[in-house]
Amino acid sequence: MLFEHAKIMKALAAVGEIVGRKKLQKMIYIAKKMKFPFYEKFDFHFYGPYSEELTLRIEELCNVGFLQEMKEKKGGYYQYRYALTEAGEQFLTHYHLDMPDLDVCLRSLNEQSARFLELVSTILYFEDLSKDEVKEKVFTLKSKQRYTEEEVEEAYRYIEQLREQAYIKS
């Protein structure tokens, strides 16, 4: 039952801390698209791929004391920081999770901005379309983000880099 929860905990253990709910959602989604075994269902929402299941699992992990959610005021909004608690680290020792190279992938993702991960995850969500169709989706659905052609190309390069890392080390 808690196996899927343990995977999320392992993801947080790999990076130490994730700043932002949106960033956490995008990191797990992108890791899933890189063939890591995350099974939460994602739908497309305002900020790109979003999983209600993931949100609920995070809440449950916070409620049982395995994750710490720190809420801080940032200008006109609140930002959330997530980290594994000592109890969470102890709990995680009871699970053998065979996810080689997850740490490398997640550390790379955690170094990126939430805005960039929103772009990457949006591209991955529509990856079955042609590149031109994906760009059209990005520029239409994400018009408020004002992504440039160069940023889209950078996101495609980053996706390729992630895939190469996943396949070389697997």
* Contact yes or no for 118/26 (Cβ under 8 A): yes
* Domain locations along the chain: 3-169
Amino acid sitting at position 73: K
Helical H runs in 34-148? 52-63, 86-92, 102-110, 114-125, 131-141
Q: What is the pLDDT of residue 151?
A: 98
Helix (H) or strand (E) holding 77: strand 77-84
- Render each residue's pLDDT in the chain as its tens digit; 170 residues: 588 999 999 999 999 999 999 999 999 999 999 999 999 999 999 899 999 999 999 999 999 999 999 999 888 888 999 999 999 999 999 888 888 788 999 999 999 999 999 999 999 999 999 999 999 999 999 999 999 999 999 999 999 999 988 765 44
